Structures are given as C-alpha cells and as structure tokens.
Structure 1
Amino acid sequence: MIGTQTQPKELGQIEVAPEVLGVIAGIAASDVDGVVEMHGTFYNALAEKFGRVNYTKGVKIDMINDAIVVDVYITVAYGKALPLVAEKVQENVQSTIFTMTNLDIREVNVHVIDVQIAKHDIGH
C-alpha cells in the first residue's frame, strides 16, 4: 500500500491503494483535450468485452525508492500537438492525484501509442 499521513498522528495513518491512484490517473488523463483513449493490456480488452469498465486502463503505477512513478499510455487525436497534449496529461495527472490524496508524484511518463485519424481528416 502507498501510505500518507493526512490526519494527526494519534488518529493513525491513511493508506491509498495503487489501484486508486490508477483510477485517478486514468480519469485525469482521459479528461485532457486531445486524448482519444487510454491503451490497456489484453486483460483490459477482455474485461471490457464482458462489460466491465476499467478506469485503470492505460495506467501503470510503480513505487521506486519510496517515490511514486505513473506511466500513462494514450492515443492522441490527429492534428493535436503531441508535446502539448502530453504536457497537459502530466500536469493534470499530477495535480489531480495531489489534490485528491495529498501524495506527491515524482514522475508522470506519457507514452503516445497511437494517433487517431477522424474520417473527415482523410482526404476523400
């Protein structure tokens, strides 16, 4: 568990599960203009076929030397500036996690896996 103390010491410690951080990061990344979808694993695709919504799709949370590192895997809309979209994802993920959990994120790594081309962008 990833823990943070947000209450006075005598009340104990509050721990936030990595899965919770994954949900927050996934929603925060999806909210950025230009992000079309999050990329998940084969398991994510299989779960979606059975109607399960997986808000951690396309998000990986790691603890490295007591630091939280978030990796997000996204598809960006064609015509959007990839560096700007990626930077907005980094900012939104980091600030949303901090606002909701009071946890500092050391890194938010954005992996642009695909670019989605809308039908009207194709010169037919």
Structure 2
Amino acid sequence: MLSPLVTDQGRTTIADTVVAKIAGIAAREVSGVHALGGGAARAVGAIRERIPGGRTNQSLGVSVEVGERQAAVDLQLVAEYGVSIADLAQGIRRNVISSIERMTSLEVTEVNIDVQDVFLESDDQDQQDQQAEPRVQ
C-alpha cells in the first residue's frame, strides 16, 4: 500500500526528533499550557536556555514513536490554573494531530497527555521574590 511518504519513486523517512519538535510547538500554541515537561526536565531546560548560545528545546516533555505511516505522541505538561483540563487536552490533541498530519503526512494514532502540575501566578511571584533577595551581605 503506497502513501505520500512511500511511493513508486522512493521513500521519505521522518526522524522522531522532527515529529517531537512539531508536537512540542503545536502543544505550546494552545492557550492554557504553561510549560511542557516534568519538573526536572524543565529545570534542565531553564539552565540550557541561560547558557550563551543555548536554545529552547522545543521537544522538551515530548516523546514520540514514528513508523513508516503512523506516529504516536506522549506529552508531559503543566497547565495554567483555572483552565478546564479536559478542554485543554482536547485542544492540544486537535492542534498536535493537525500539525503533524499536515506537515508530515503521517497518521497520528494517539496523543497521550500527562498533566504533571498546575501553574499558579503566585508560584512565579514567589520565585521572583526569592531571586530578588541578596544571598550575601
């Protein structure tokens, strides 16, 4: 059975990292997603971004399995407080599936979402307050 990626003229393969990056960007586009990844992964990502020349890892919190015609996606994320998690998950699935299928022609068989935490504005303010205090005198 031929597909847009497997034709009589040749075969196109798409690396897992490409699909993971597309999924990560698509998930971040959905309002209500504060961040992708669990706590430790986000901490390492924040350090990487502060290094001169460091880049944001768009696939942080994303794992994928890619075959010749299909892909499956697993996402870990932090949701904004007050957002309906069921609606958020539905919006993420819709955007991730649409983006991957449009860009790669792979059929997305599933998008599993693991909400690791809920972000509160006060959490961010507490962290900023701690950083503003001098550590030494």
State the TM-score, normalizing by the size of structure 1. 0.80
2:74 is aligned to 71
Structure 2 unmatched ranges of 5 or more: 123-137
Distance (whole Å) between structure 1 residues aligned to residue 30 and residue 15 of structure 2: 24
Contact 1:38/1:58 (<8 A) preserved = yes
2:63 is aligned to 60
RMSD: 2.4
Cα drift, residue 44 of structure 1:
4.2
Describe the SS at the equivalent of 1:54: coil
Distance (whole Å) between structure 2 residues aligned to residue 7 and residue 79 of structure 1: 41
Within the candidate set 8, 12, 27, 1:14 is matched to: 12
**Matched length:** 115
Distance (whole Å) between structure 2 residues aligned to residue 8 and residue 106 of structure 1: 18
Superposed counterparts of 1:1-124, under 5 Å: 5-6=3-4, 9-39=7-37, 41=41, 44=45, 47-50=48-51, 51-63=54-66, 67-119=70-122
Structure 1 unmatched ranges of 5 or more: 120-124
Distance (whole Å) between structure 1 residues aligned to residue 72 and residue 97 of structure 2: 10
2:126 is aligned to none
Cα drift, residue 7 of structure 1:
6.2
Distance (whole Å) between structure 1 residues aligned to residue 70 and residue 87 of structure 2: 25
**Greater strand proportion:** 1
**Aligned residue type for 2:100:** I
Distance (whole Å) between structure 1 residues aligned to residue 60 and residue 87 of structure 2: 22
CA 7–55 in structure 1, closer or farther in 2 if over 3 Å, else same: closer
State the TM-score, normalizing by the size of structure 2. 0.73
Describe the SS at the equivalent of 1:16: coil
CA 77–101 in structure 1, closer or farther in 2 if over 3 Å, else same: same
